[in-house]
Structure 1
Amino acid sequence: MKERTTTPKGKLLIIGGKEDRDDTDVEIKNKNEDFIPHEILKLLISNKENRIEVITTASAEPESMRDTYTKTFKEIGYTNFGFIHFVDKAIDEDVQRIKNSKAIFFTGGDQNVICEKFKDTPLCDALKEKYFAEDDFVIAGTSAGAMCMPEIIICEGEDGEAILENDITLASGLGLLSRCIVDTHFVHRGRFGRLSHAVMIKRECFGIGLGEDTALLIEEGKRAICKGSGMVIGISAKDLEKTNVDTVEKGHPVYGENLKVHIITDGCSIDLESGAFTAP
């Protein structure tokens, strides 16, 4: 095994769901003059002949995922891709396919299933080895496929009007992204409250709320640039002041003072460690 460096050489592409593809209708594309068809999925590989492996394990409808991404990838011009769906555990052939790939793409579904089936397996080990060692390797995920990537994930949470104690559950993820928590379909499903709750509990983490057809392309594990037609909301609780998050009783509302919020759109960059923001 190659020696692992502390800074990953590969890239992460985390997508908020409903990226422009065969089965979606991106609502904003007729209004946003910066809209580019298939902009996000075109970031998977630079050479269209490079190998992409699509992991559909999170989905309850893997055949539908296969049909959708087959059509979309062919429209983009990708010629070398395959699909991996395992229910119990991956086989040696799947591990070899990971090692031979240039991009891995996790579809949506249930982030808990991805972590349960994938974490601490030879398949995950092979993925991490390539991510840390190869500068032309991309790990991408949409919706649940993006939420599973950090060290800490939201495995269950309410999208309610109030943040209530005991309405969110955090767990360990795949560990590809440090000191961040990712949420998806963020604007459309009104998830500001639950991501804010998560970062108030884990104040060392930066909250990344990905809108639909919107992504962050992350290099060196921290340098992120926004791509897509919508927006990413960044939330930091590092300077949190008055709050009852640690003392509130079950079923009662949580409050917090001095959350820091960023609105990040196409071309904007942010350092996920320092919070430094750069406009296009």
Structure 2
Amino acid sequence: MLEFFRKFDNKRIQNIDMNMKTEDKAVPKGKLLIIGGKEDRNGTEVKIKDKNKNFIPHEILQLLVKDKADRIEVITTASSEPESMRETYTKTFKEIGYTNFGFIHFAGNAEDEYVQRIRKSKAVFFTGGDQNRICEEIKNTGICDVLMEKYLGEKDFMIAGTSAGAMCMPEIIICEAEDDEAILENDIKLASGLELLSGCIVDTHFVHRGRFGRLAHAVMLHRECFGIGLGEDTALLIEEGKKAICKGSGMVIILSAKEIGQTNIETVEEGHPVYGENIKVHLITDGCSINLESGEFQAP
């Protein structure tokens, strides 16, 4: 995994080893499931489900484990209302038929106990809330270590996250940004995430909240990364750290500035608008797949 200094600025996160070869990286045996938020669950209305003939109830959350008796640990650290999250996912998991799940609201307490629980699990699921809270509490703890250990070494182990729970997974995360009509210099702040996903920056509620500009800004600052804009009730299931297939009723938008043309991103002054030529866009829906290293797209 790439290493980061713990200091950030709005131009670049420093100390990225741009020359690391793909073959030098460990290929994860586990899976990631990154969800754009508002996945079909108890208390959430998926607006498009009556129009989209491909809609499948609980399609995304059914991917968490193969056997309904497998252990799922739900981490609510991102949420300021963990009891509400517990109630929502308890009802939803029971609807799906899951019989073996528990909840962890880690805030620097009972770390050893939670490490042992995660070690025995088949899936760990991060709820929504604030991605910064997840990184502040989980990063550089035994919990983060055991997650990485199981993700790299355990076949079929799943780490999933919705909304903030998805945004926290890459090496570089959006920790604060504006959803304005124009991209302005100094209106985005990036930081180091949990480092589970390489070469990508993730944004969620992407279409509904109009977040194209801020993700474009992020990939213009980090052209080595793909930008993954996840729609609501939509997810990417990622295997081997790079092979991603879309699931759900909405769409995923992939942005790339790797072949950017004219741009003022390096010279623009604070408060002035950013422009960029030749930012590429892929539109991905249920069943489509993409390689998150090469950018190769495959239709269903």
Q: TM-score scaled by structure 1? A: 0.98
Note if contact 2:111-2:142 (Cα within 8 Å) is conserved in structure 1: no
Give 1:112's aligned amino acid.
N
Q: 1:11-59: CA deviations, max 9, x gaps?
A: 0000000000001000100000000000000000010000000000000
Equivalent residue number for residue 296 of structure 2: 276
Q: How does 1:144-163 map to 2 (within 5 A)?
A: 144-163=164-183
Q: Deviations over 1:184-241 (max 9, x none)?
A: 0000000000000000000000000000000000000000000000000000000001
Q: CA deviation at 1:135?
A: 1.1
Q: Which of 55, 71, 75 matches 1:51?
A: 71
1:97 aligned partner: 117
Question: Contact (CA 8 Å) 2:185, 2:272: kept in 1 or not?
Answer: yes
The answer to whether the Cα contact below 8 Å between 1:108 and 1:142 also exists between their aligned partners in 2 is yes
* Counterparts of residues 111-190 of structure 1 (less than 5 Å): 111-190=131-210
Residue 265 of structure 1 aligns with which residue? 285
Question: Shift of residue 88 of structure 1?
Answer: 2.5
**SS at the partner of 2:214?**
helix
Q: Find the counterpart in structure 2 of residue 239 from structure 1.
A: 259
The runs of at least 4 consecutive aligned structure 1 residues that moved more than 4 Å come to none
**What SS does structure 2 have at the residue aligned with 1:35?**
coil
Aligned partners of 1:211, 1:90: CA distance in 2, in Å? Answer: 35
Partners in 2 of 1:277 and 1:46 — Cα distance? 27
CA distance in 2, matches of 1:24, 1:164: 34
Identity %, equivalent residues: 78
CA contact (8 A) 1:179 1:205 kept: yes
Q: Secondary structure at the match of 2:228?
A: strand
Which whole-Å CA distance do the structure 1 matches of 2:111 and 2:26 have between them?
A: 28
2:159 alignment partner, SS class: strand
Amino acid at match of 2:297: F
In structure 2, the residue matched to 1:30 is: 50
3-state SS, counterpart of residue 38 of structure 1: coil
Residue 250 (structure 1) aligns with: 270
1:17 matched to which residue of 2? 37
Is 1:60 aligned with 2:69?
A: no
- Assess if the C-alpha contact under 8 Å between 1:95 and 1:126 holds in 2: yes
Distance 2:184 2:170 in 1: 24
CA contact (8 A) 1:90 1:123 kept: no
1-structure distance, mates of 2:210, 2:223:
21
Q: Supply the distance in 2 between the matched residues of 1:186 and 1:272 (Cα, whole angstroms).
A: 18
SS in 1 for 2:87: helix
For residues 165 and 90 of structure 1, the distance between their equivalents in structure 2, rounded to whole angstroms, comes to 42
Q: How far does residue 90 in structure 1 lie from its aligned partner after superposition?
A: 4.3
Quick check: 1:157–1:167 contact (8 Å CA) kept in 2? yes
Give the superposed CA RMSD. Answer: 1.0
- Give the partner amino acid of 1:242: Q
Cα contact 1:224–1:269 (8 A) shared by 2:
yes
Cα displacement (A) at 1:91: 2.0
| AA of the residue aligned to 2:51 | K
The AA in structure 1 aligned to 2:37 is G
CA drift at 1:248: 0.3
Q: 1:123 Cα shift?
A: 0.6
TM-score (norm 2): 0.91
Secondary structure of residue in 2 paired with 1:257: coil
Shift of 1:89: 4.0
Classify the secondary structure of the residue corresponding to 1:149.
coil
Which ranges in structure 1 are unaligned for 5 or more consecutive residues? none
**Matches of 2:47 and 2:270, distance apart in 1:** 38
Q: Deviations over 1:52-103 (max 9, x none)?
A: 0000000000000000000000000000000000223442110000100000
Report the equivalent of 2:3.
none
- CA distance in structure 1 between the partners assigned to 2:253 and 2:297 by the alignment: 12
